[in-house]
Amino acid sequence: MSSSPLNPILPLCQLPAGAIGRVRELTGDASFCQRVREMGFGESTFVTKVGGRGPFICHINGTRVALSHAAAMGIVVEQIGGR
């Protein structure tokens, strides 16, 4: 996975609070990937990290979702806006 300095690729847990990211990849076993897709974290979906240090609060598809640190580590995003 490569990233440019303008659009870093990082786990959702490392996305700064208030930043917007686009889901690039889901890592982990098949059941984890299926579960987070059901929650709305499909590839190419936009997510805003509202805040938190675990659980992390995210805004996705008009809904706020809380994720554990382990779950947020398994969602790789491309930072596209925000801080």
- Domain borders along the chain are 9-81
Residue 78, strand partner residues: 9, 22
Statement: 9-81 belongs to CATH 2.30.30.90? yes
Instruction: Give the pLDDT of residue 54.
Output: 76
pLDDT tens figures, 16-46? 999 999 999 999 999 999 999 999 999 999 9
- 77 Cβ contact partners less than 8 Å away, ≥ 6 residues apart: 9, 10, 11, 12, 15, 21, 22, 23, 24, 47
pLDDT tens figures, 54-73? 799 999 999 999 999 999 99
